[in-house]
Copies of this chain bind each other. A is one copy, B any other.
Amino acid sequence: MRISICSVLMALASPIVCAQTMQDVLEASKPSDWRELQPENALYLELESGRVIIELAPEFAPRHVENIRTLVRERYFDGLAIIRVQDNFVAQWGDAEGHKPLGTAKKALTAEFTRSAKGLAFTKLPDPDTYAPEIGFVSGFPAARDRADGTAWLTHCYGMVGVGRDTDADSAGGTELYVVIGHAPRQLDRNITVVGRVVHGMEHLSSLPRGTGALGFYEKAEQHVPIRQIRLASEVPASERTPLELLRTDTPTFEALVESRRNRRDEWYKVPAGRIDVCSVPLPVRARD
Is A186 an interface residue, CB under 8 A from the partner?
yes
Chain A residues 71-85 with CB under 8 Å of chain B are 85
A280/B183 in contact, CB under 8 A: yes
Give the distance to chain B from A168, nearest Cβ to Cβ, in Å.
9
Quick check: A88 and B202 within 8 Å, CB to CB? yes
Please name all residues of chain B whose beta carbon is closer than 8 Å to the beta carbon of A130 when the two chains form the complex: 127-130, 275-277
- Chain B residue nearest to A282 (CB atoms) is B88
Interface residues on A, range: 35 or more
With both chains docked as a complex, state the minimum distance between the C-beta of A107 and any C-beta of chain B, in angstroms.
Answer: 19
Binding site for B on A (CB under 8 A): 85, 87-88, 113, 127-131, 157-159, 167, 169, 182-187, 189-191, 202-203, 206-210, 261, 264, 267-271, 273, 275-277, 279-280
Q: How far is the CA of A184 from the CA of B267 in the complex (A)?
A: 21
State whether A183 and B183 are in contact (beta carbons under 8 Å apart), knowing that A87-B206, A88-B158, A191-B269 are contacts in the complex: yes
In the docked arrangement, what's the CA distance between A167 and B129, Å?
A: 30
In the complex, the answer to whether B209 meets A270 with C-beta atoms within 8 Å is no
Residues of B near A189 (CB, < 8 A) are 271, 273
